[in-house]
Structure 1
Amino acid sequence: MDFSLSPDLQALQQKTRDFIAQQVIPYERDPRQTPHGPGEALRQELVALARGTGLLTPHASPEFGGLGLSHVAKAVVFEEAGYSPLGPVALNIHAPDEGNIHLMEIVATPEQKERWLRPLAEGCTRSCFAMTEPAPGAGSDPSMLQTTAVRDGDHYVINGTKWLITGAEGARFAIIMARMEDGSATMFLSDMDRPEIRLERLMDSLDSCFTGGHGVLHFENLRVPAADVLGEIGKGFRYAQVRLAPARLTHCMRWLGAARRAHDTALAYARQRQAFGKRLGEHEGVGFMLADNAMDLHNTRLAIWHCAWVLDQGHSGNRESSMTKVTASEAAWRIVDRSVQILGGRGVTGEAIVERIFRDLRAFRIYDGPSEVHRWSLASKLLEGKIS
């Protein structure tokens, strides 16, 4: 594996870094940010900036206006975007749209791509992925899916409730996972402005970085034409893996950038803050935390790049992305937690960006599968001799 960056990728990395520093970070105190994410007007303004810089939706194929980045190239660009909580929003690489774009490029029909994917890739619309359900429905165990889809002539009638649906408020369309009469699962596409879809409420959460927040959706006799089935009937769980393996990894890429921002902020403070006759960073207790941060950043980046390389070789990457999701989320949490500690009182207030990163990042150990579920899955495969 050669992890050296080509001159073109180095130039793209620097271009993204400059864009985030010069055009995005100044928006971080914009009042159009809400507890449920950046407002739509702010999102559109940021997207326009990225469009003008040639950085909008870089992971999409050139056919849909993107740069067609490889997974390794995404690792480089997405980390730079994640350096600001608003960076992924600006580049149109935030969840869930990033994963939905990836899935639809692979699975959607030409008609579906023109109707839903192209406006999404152009940053004109947003989407949501409606899979998670309140108990006793599907969460970490997708086999518990309760939302149903019943064939009725040339339509399917969908009923059920979803929650923790990121980006639900203001989304143009949804990808809905529903259980068929034979127990299999299927994905459906539907516009969100249908009267049979009700956004019951937005859920208050620690994070505030996702446009549209996290919503509770109720589907009551939603009629979806057979032409709006995404992919093939009964292959919903398979398509979920097509989406989730790369999406887990792109989460890691973005949050690595956020963790690096927290570390850089703490390091700058430790270099200039005086305590007990010397710089704060010269005290071993603080210096060791900075060193641990640097090691966690280095090891996490290597893990992400290795997993990205595996995906670029055409492998599913399910095992690698699962392991990387756990190691990256826990390492990023350690980095941000140490950074708060180094900053002291400043670190628990809005005086530094680290407090916001701390709140946003805590959920990373839960999103796309809690660490414990990934460990359980890996342990099961180890015991069965499927991996070594």
Structure 2
Amino acid sequence: MLYPMSPKVVELKRKLESFMDRHIYPNEERFYREAEELGPWKVYPVVEELKPLARAEGLWNLFLPESSHGAGLTNLEYAPFCEVMGRSHLAPEVFNCSAPDTGNMEVLERYGSEKDKERWLKPLLAGEIRSCFAMTEPAVASSDATNIESSIVRDGDHYVINGRKWYTTNATDPRCKICIFMGKTDPDNPDRHKQQSMILVPMDTPGIEVKRPLPVFGFYGVPDRASEVVFTNVRVPKENMLLGEGRGFEIAQGRLGPGRIHHCMRLIGLSERTLEKMCRRVRSRVAFGKPVSEQTVTQERIAEARIMIEQARLLTLNAAYAMDTVGNKVAKAEIAMIKVAVPNMACQIIDWAIQAHGGGGTSNDFGLTQAYATARLLRLADGPDEVHRNQIARFELKKYSNN
């Protein structure tokens, strides 16, 4: 292996896979049923029942690098666990490793005051509450984060917040108690990347209205509790500002780097599971006198899927290694490349699996429609393909700027 796993990682991965076999896969049907019946405004009992089991086995907060609160894993070491958890929509939250809480906890760990950590980070680490991240807005093209129009205005010892956000994951969850809000404190600053700030906003503050859940391809709550939230004259203490005015874009870039790695590794796990379903399906079905698995087109797709998964995994592990060794800023190109390659790979493999399942593939019975919703969403979340491709091209062209 190019990136061999340490004995510690091998043992943890074995424990994680065992937990998945014993508790996650057998409860998936119940999870989807609860999500559909209870909707995005409720807590799903199956998740809360499994959390204590995961914590008791030491499979908790594995994502936090450089912290005494997590397992002390690097991005490269965490990647295999993220892949395993990505095989099921149920898994990440059970291990307290789901977005956006992971990114928010990292922000609080790095930039929060001791008071913030005690009030918000501690219960998040314990899985007692959830959080949301409010950046994307319906009125502007949020693929360019400098477009954000929401305002954060200083008023004495407070800041007053106004804005409309959407795709604010978790906001409909009754356990969501804290929001990290991105808005403009200095809209006239000539440096567009220093106009934005991030601030902590308790969700019970007057003036916050969670307008509605947003479905992702018709799914509410799975794979994402996307929400629209309106902030009207919301007042929070000045101490809630993170890192300082004008540092929001800086925080966002630091937050999104590890998140992109996590998303990509989870998608690789989801793609592996999808390929497994596809192979089992085509071996059990007969069409035109022979098993579907013997049809040449099927074999070509299976072969291509295996090649694509292996390529994506190596590219993602390379990005994780770069983040660990040279830092997120230097590894920008590697992170951008996986953010384009992996969701597109997953979309293609899931599409082939749907085709192999026939009409049933378009139902919710096989988990493929949920998988496709996740993969397609991630061609937009944390930056759309087009933005990352442009960035990769600029990095490449810069190599020849003096020629």
TM-score normalised to the size of structure 1?
0.93
> Which of the numbers 96, 99, 124 marks the counterpart of 1:95?
99
Letter in 1 for 2:123: P
Measured in 2, the distance between the counterparts of 1:368 and 1:387 equals 29
C-alpha displacement of 1:62: 8.5
Answer yes or no: is 1:49 the counterpart of 2:53. Answer: yes
1:242-321 aligned at under 5 Å gives the runs: 242-316=254-328, 317-321=331-335
- The alignment-based identity, stated in percent, is 34
Deviations 1:191-221 (A, max 9, x none): 1011211111111222555587111111111
1:387 to 1:188, Cα distance in 2 relative to 1, 3 A: farther
What's 2:165 paired with? Answer: 162
Letter in 2 for 1:174: C
How many matched pairs?
387
What's 2:108 paired with? Answer: 104
Answer yes or no: is the 8 Å Cα contact 2:151–2:183 preserved in 1: yes
Answer yes or no: is the 8 Å Cα contact 1:245–1:322 preserved in 2: no
Structure showing greater relative contact order (alpha-carbon pairs closer than 8 Å, 6 or more residues apart): 1
C-alpha displacement of 1:103: 2.0
Measured in 2, the distance between the counterparts of 1:379 and 1:116 equals 40
Deviations 1:51-108 (A, max 9, x none): 1222122112686642122101211001000111111121121111111122222221
- Please state whether the residue corresponding to 2:378 is helix, strand or coil: helix
1:54 to 1:386, Cα distance in 2 relative to 1, 3 A: farther
Answer yes or no: is 1:32 the counterpart of 2:34. Answer: yes
Letter in 1 for 2:354: V
Answer yes or no: is the 8 Å Cα contact 1:38–1:211 preserved in 2: no
Aligned-residue CA RMSD (Å): 2.2
Answer yes or no: is 1:173 the counterpart of 2:187. Answer: no
Answer yes or no: is the 8 Å Cα contact 1:169–1:212 preserved in 2: no
What's 1:378 paired with? Answer: 392
Does 346-355 or 214-223 show the bigger shift?
A: 346-355
Answer yes or no: is 1:196 the counterpart of 2:200. Answer: no
Letter in 2 for 1:237: F
Measured in 1, the distance between the counterparts of 2:88 and 2:284 equals 23
Answer yes or no: is the 8 Å Cα contact 2:165–2:229 preserved in 1: yes
> Which of the numbers 218, 225, 231 marks the counterpart of 1:219?
231
Deviations 1:261-288 (A, max 9, x none): 1111111122232333433212211111
Deviations 1:163-194 (A, max 9, x none): 11111113110000110135411110011011
Measured in 2, the distance between the counterparts of 1:103 and 1:311 equals 17
- Please state whether the residue corresponding to 1:313 is helix, strand or coil: helix
Measured in 1, the distance between the counterparts of 2:230 and 2:221 equals 24
What's 2:155 paired with? Answer: 152
Letter in 1 for 2:171: A
Does 104-113 or 276-285 show the bigger shift?
A: 276-285
- Please state whether the residue corresponding to 1:285 is helix, strand or coil: helix
Answer yes or no: is the 8 Å Cα contact 1:157–1:221 preserved in 2: yes
1:4-23 aligned at under 5 Å gives the runs: 4-23=4-23
Answer yes or no: is the 8 Å Cα contact 2:172–2:227 preserved in 1: yes
Answer yes or no: is the 8 Å Cα contact 2:223–2:374 preserved in 1: no
What's 2:192 paired with? Answer: none
C-alpha displacement of 1:297: 0.9
Any unmatched runs of 5+ in structure 2? Answer: 190-194
Letter in 2 for 1:84: S
Deviations 1:314-348 (A, max 9, x none): 42222211111100111111111111112222322
Does 336-345 or 38-47 show the bigger shift?
A: 38-47
C-alpha displacement of 1:351: 2.9
Letter in 1 for 2:122: R
1:49 to 1:268, Cα distance in 2 relative to 1, 3 A: same
Deviations 1:116-153 (A, max 9, x none): 111111111100001111123x5101111111111111
Answer yes or no: is the 8 Å Cα contact 2:66–2:73 preserved in 1: no
C-alpha displacement of 1:360: 2.7
Any unmatched runs of 5+ in structure 1? Answer: none
- Please state whether the residue corresponding to 1:149 is helix, strand or coil: strand
- Please state whether the residue corresponding to 2:162 is helix, strand or coil: strand
Answer yes or no: is 1:232 the counterpart of 2:232. Answer: no
Does 349-358 or 97-106 show the bigger shift?
A: 349-358
1:208 to 1:10, Cα distance in 2 relative to 1, 3 A: farther
Does 90-99 or 28-37 show the bigger shift?
A: 28-37
Does 55-64 or 254-263 show the bigger shift?
A: 55-64
Answer yes or no: is 1:81 the counterpart of 2:81. Answer: no
What's 1:3 paired with? Answer: 3
What's 1:139 paired with? Answer: 142
Measured in 2, the distance between the counterparts of 1:384 and 1:63 equals 36
C-alpha displacement of 1:299: 0.6
